[in-house]
Structure 1
Amino acid sequence: MADIIIAGGGIGGLATALSLVRLGHRATVLERSGTFAEIGAGIQLGPNAFRALDRLGVGESVRERAVFIDELRFMDGTTGEKVAAMELTGAYRERFGNPYAVVHRGDLYQPLLTACQELDGVELFADASVGSYEQDADGVTVRTVDGRTFRGAALIGADGIRSTVRAAMLGDGEPRVSGHTIYRSVIPIEKVPEELRWNTVTLWAGPQWHFVHYIIGGGKYLNLAVTRDDGATVPVTGRETARAHVLAQFPGIGPTARRLLELGEGWREWVLCDRDPVRTWTDRRVVLVGDAAHPMLQYAAQGACQALEDAVVLGDLLDGMDADDVVQHLEKFNAVRRERTGRTQLIARYMGSELYHPAGEKAKARNAMLSALTQREMHDKVSWLHGDHHFTDSGAEGAATSAEPPSARR
């Protein structure tokens, strides 16, 4: 048994705390915000996420809040043509052992938070922004910005894409700005015409843009997320944006997609960022997980899923560990996770640049390629990601090949 400090109280941090404490360790979670809460809108959960959630003991709680999707639908955003769809019922669920679902981020976060609050081995500290850490042969001392100190056998950096722990460990600067701006809105389902209330994750692909929508909140809301490849160079996080501005970004959008886009209100915008994969996220008794280790663009819908996988794998590797065994176990975690997560990072980039945003003849070629795939072939393409039971397999195919299925993403 060991005392372990976790920087960051988001999805990855709380999942890691659960994983460690259920195996006998004690976890202290330091959250920079004043409250433990999750902001944002919809999130997609593949079978791999549910497998991890079940291991953490919160799978059923999340299922109760989830909307189970029938298919991932890929549409041509200008012509309105249905290009392809990957079915997520029958054969998919039988093969991968779990459903594909969408939830509001809060409906994933709350079960994790409640489970942590109910465990004696988890201590949660809000307003506890990590300022620095020092380590020695016996442990790690963490100092918060307001002067408090915490001592543990290890420090886990789960503090997001702009991780303080990563900055101290790797010193690799600011995240990479993708040049893509995403606009998000969540609206009551009553405002959506019944003929447009599809139980799908639908992606409309256009020249240098794409638009994704799906129902969340147990059927109460429609989540809208529309992305423009606009060459943005400055990070933006959740800035309020006028409806007229959003609508003006997509003049060539087809009529059905336009109807859905015009339903949006209370729009906010983000400029998307990620980082290049790195081979090392550990320094003796300190390790990174989730977005601190391998931040990725939303296009593979795997950011939260990979953080949940991290939590399970790290917990398994630290099972039975005492304070003297930390270093080798953290190095093993790094070794077994880096290929899978790095591949997912690169696939997410590929999907955003090569699959979703081409125009003209390239778009026609993409549509022809996607429409030719059988259901079995689509499932084969995602099997390494959705079907992995150990969360360590990287699969045999190359990133570009595996990025080709018409799986609609945020």
Structure 2
Amino acid sequence: MEGVEDIVIAGAGLAGLATALGLHRKGVRSVVLESSATLRASGYAFTTWTNAFRALDALGVGDKIREHHLLYESGPHEIRCVKRNFLLETLESELPEGTIRYSSKIAAIDEEGDVKLLHMADGSIIKAKVLIGCDGVNSVVAKWLGLPKPIQSGRSATRGMAEYPDGHGFGPEMLQFIGQGFRSGVLPCSDTSVYWNYTWYPSPDDKDAEESVAKMRQHVLTKLRAAKIPLEALDVIERSEMSEVVSSPLRFRSPLSLVRGSISRGNVCVAGDAFHPMTPELGQGGCAALEDGVVLARCLGDAFAHGYACESVKAGLEKYADERRGRAIRLVTAAYVVGFVQQSNNTVVKFLREKFLSGLLAKLMVDMADFDCGEL
């Protein structure tokens, strides 16, 4: 078909670039449409567990990431806090020039036989034999598939990154603080960079905090000082860079909607946050997106082994959906449960958390990271 792209990936985030790179490794060309003018690195950094590094190794970039990020003292498990922009730039650098088309936002999707017509925000139309939605929590592709909107968890998050040109002095470990209705983490990325995050249940009294970065920073510091966390952790927040979007509501896809919903239909599927947005307590959102990319590239690359064939592509995407559905349901459910228990102010839940559940929650986090998505 003249003027039709074989594979179009919506979104140049972790899932989109991992899928594009996996396909490239298998000799299959794709085009990535990114709505922003440049790579977006919202979130600053994320915890990258053993399962994510298995995916990155499959993509051939694991060692490049390891070279620039501290390995935490975590026994047999590989845990690092990886800068999101560094990872995205690394994935991009491995792709053929021109793979990513920036300032390319999909406004609507139509069909012309088996071909998808992508109506772009600038008025142009792109035709695609295969459409992969990696376009985030507000995914246009997920909406087209009929997946329901993600659910508000009732919690919000803010985060930042602090730079210490002369070194920060933190050891290679994850510091976590749980207080009255909040959870916070301080995580060194390298010898000179430290990432922090803070999630909480907003109340009407917190409205002023949303007005500016300065007020949000003060809100977080006030809560953490009251919880008597170490001064060196407070210093990270005081000196950090924060996004102008001072906080974001935490949303997740209902596990029931993943049981019944269409992850793929015909020649269209979703991956990453477009597929399984989850709350951050397991530190698995980004890791799962990388897993998606490897599995999807494997299934779709095999389907393209002898060129494009509609039925082969549909079977490949169905195989991907079958492989990933159960994993996504477990991750989304576990993340929500861990977050509820960790941040609940209920007297009974707090008692059980402090006396019995802390060890079980830690084991659950490790168990979820002990996963191998396989090779390309």
Q: TM-score, normalised by structure 1?
A: 0.78
1:177 Cα offset (Å): 2.0
Equivalent pairs counted in the alignment come to: 354
Aligned residue identity for 2:99: E
Structure 1: how far apart are the matches of 2:117 and 2:92? 25
Partner SS for 1:223 = strand
Aligned residue identity for 2:79: Y
Residue number in structure 1 paired with 2:183? 210
Structure 1: how far apart are the matches of 2:211 and 2:276? 21
Structure 2: how far apart are the matches of 1:14 and 1:40? 17
Superposed, 1:126-141 pairs within 5 Å as 126-141=102-117
Partner SS for 2:372 = coil
Partner SS for 1:183 = strand
Unaligned runs of 5+ in 1: 71-87, 94-98, 393-410
Residue number in structure 2 paired with 1:275? 253
Structure 1: how far apart are the matches of 2:36 and 2:330? 31
Q: Does 1:295 align with 2:267?
A: no
Task: String of CA shifts for 1:238-283, please: whole Å, max 9, x gaps.
Answer: 9634232333345630242x65235423443222222213232112
Aligned residue identity for 2:64: S
Partner SS for 1:153 = strand
Residue number in structure 2 paired with 1:113? 92
Partner SS for 2:27 = coil
Superposed, 1:318-397 pairs within 5 Å as 318-321=300-303, 322-324=308-310, 325-358=312-345, 360=347, 362-369=349-356, 381-382=364-365, 384-390=367-373
Answer whether contact 1:202 1:214 (CA < 8 A) is retained: yes
Structure 2: how far apart are the matches of 1:361 and 1:290? 35
Partner SS for 2:100 = strand
Structure 1: how far apart are the matches of 2:284 and 2:31? 26
Superposed, 1:141-220 pairs within 5 Å as 141-170=117-146, 172-173=148-149, 175-189=150-164, 194=169, 197-216=170-189, 218-220=190-192
1:31 Cα offset (Å): 0.4
Change (3 A) 1:358 1:134: same
Q: State which of 23, 26, 30 in structure 2 corresponds to 1:23.
A: 26
1:192 Cα offset (Å): 8.5
Structure 2: how far apart are the matches of 1:255 and 1:127? 43
Q: TM-score, normalised by structure 2?
A: 0.85
Structure 1: how far apart are the matches of 2:300 and 2:359? 45
Partner SS for 2:221 = helix
Structure 2: how far apart are the matches of 1:113 and 1:24? 16
Unaligned runs of 5+ in 2: none
Answer whether contact 2:302 2:316 (CA < 8 A) is retained: no
Structure 2: how far apart are the matches of 1:252 and 1:391? 45
1:357 Cα offset (Å): 3.6
Structure 2: how far apart are the matches of 1:146 and 1:165? 18
Change (3 A) 1:297 1:154: same
Superposed, 1:58-137 pairs within 5 Å as 58-70=61-73, 88-89=74-75, 92-93=76-77, 99-116=78-95, 119=96, 123-137=99-113
Partner SS for 2:356 = helix
Task: String of CA shifts for 1:168-190, please: whole Å, max 9, x gaps.
Answer: 221634x3222212232222236
Residue number in structure 2 paired with 1:264? 237
Structure 1: how far apart are the matches of 2:7 and 2:212? 35
Answer whether contact 1:238 1:270 (CA < 8 A) is retained: no
1:372 Cα offset (Å): 6.2
Change (3 A) 1:357 1:391: farther
Structure 2: how far apart are the matches of 1:148 and 1:238? 37
Structure 2: how far apart are the matches of 1:238 and 1:101? 33
Structure 2: how far apart are the matches of 1:138 and 1:171? 20
Change (3 A) 1:251 1:102: closer
Residue number in structure 2 paired with 1:247? 221
Answer whether contact 1:179 1:231 (CA < 8 A) is retained: no
1:53 Cα offset (Å): 0.6
Aligned residue identity for 1:342: I
Give the root-mean-square deviation of aligned CA atoms.
Answer: 2.9
Aligned residue identity for 2:248: W
More moved, 330-339 vs 239-248: 239-248
